[in-house]
Amino acid sequence: MAEWQGKSQASVTGYKIFGFFVKRFGVRVAYVILLFVAFYYFCFSWHSSGAILDFYRRRLHFPALKALGLLYVNYFRFGQTLIDKFAVLAGQQAAFTFSFDGGHHLDEMVAEGNGGILLSAHAGNWEAAGQLLSRLNRPVSIVMYDGEEAQIKQYLQQSANKKFQVIFVKPDLSHIFKINAALAANELVCIHGDRFMPGAKTLTLDFLGAPARFPEGPFLLALKFSVPVTFVYAFKESATHYALSATPARRYRTAQNDTVSTIATAYARTLETKVHEHPEQWFNYYDFWKQTP
């Protein structure tokens, strides 16, 4: 099966087409077109389909027909998250409604004058929901791999009315200094903890009944900086509604015998729960349980 290479399968042409329909006709018309696009990927994207079907069959133990049906729904949901992300970043947040389970945990963290690390995953649509964090009146940065084509990034930057900053992961580790500066300024930093590039340091955890590798970096940062850490997720529950959640914030410290594994294990357990609740919104299109680099 394919390995993750740090970028999505989207093209700048695809972004422009959906961007046109979102701007002119709204997200619902874009969703209609997406029905056919999702069907194309369902029929012809063999590498990603194999990984998702394996995930449904071997990890969640779904019957074959249910797994096949969820495969199409997965592609459709993934397309919706891209459309929604574009719509929200383009200033059309009013097209969606949001609920926030545990939002008070973030309010409390900010009220204490602290910044912190928000650990999330490539499940659901945190980038779009990240716009809501502006209500906290605290700068927010989202850490992302710098893997998209330059044209796509330029197009999104031109189209976006985003209320958060992006810190791109760089080979020269300059992103570490930016994260450090943001946390030192008591800002919020959102990091995805479920993907890594080839050659990165990892740790192996039991995840959905089998060993899986997770990146060490996000959890090492959480321990090193000893700032409040919360696990946050945002899942699509209907055409225009997102459900956000956040766990109680906690500081992890070596002085109290916390380790990188302590944080990573807690994160993996919450992610397991969310994946069981929203299996159609697991967007890791490669063999997540592969043990060799």
30: in domain: no
- The per-residue pLDDT for 150 is 46
2: in domain: no
Q: How far apart are the C-alpha atoms of 138 and 155, rounded to whole Å?
A: 26
Domain that holds residue 232: 93-281
- The per-residue pLDDT for 293 is 43
Write out the chain in H/E/C secondary structure: CCCCCCCCCCCHHHHHHHHHHHHHHCHHHHHHHHHHHHHHHHHHCHHHHHHHHHHHHHHCCCCHHHHHHHHHHHHHHHHHHHHHHHHHHCCCHHHCEEEEECHHHHHHHHHCCCCEEEEECCEECHHHHHHHHHHHCCCEEEEEECCCCHHHHHHHHHHCCCCCEEEEECCCCHHHHHHHHHHHCCCEEEEECCCCCCCCCEEEEEECCEEEEEECHHHHHHHHHCCEEEEEEEEECCCCEEEEEECCCEECCHHHCCCHHHHHHHHHHHHHHHHHHCHHHECCCCCCCCCCC
- The per-residue pLDDT for 219 is 95
Q: Give the pair of three-digit tokens for residue 239.
A: 């055409």
56: in domain: no
Residue-by-residue pLDDT tens, the chain, 293 positions: 444 444 455 555 566 666 777 777 778 888 998 999 999 999 999 989 999 999 999 999 999 999 999 999 999 999 998 888 878 777 777 888 888 898 888 888 888 877 899 999 999 987 666 666 666 778 888 887 765 444 555 555 555 556 667 788 777 778 888 998 888 888 889 899 998 888 889 999 999 999 999 999 999 999 998 899 999 999 999 988 999 999 999 999 988 889 999 999 999 999 999 999 999 999 999 999 985 44
8: in domain: no
- The per-residue pLDDT for 12 is 57
How many domains would you assign to the chain?
1
73: in domain: no
Residue-level length of the chain: 293
106: in domain: yes
271: in domain: yes
69: in domain: no
- The per-residue pLDDT for 74 is 97
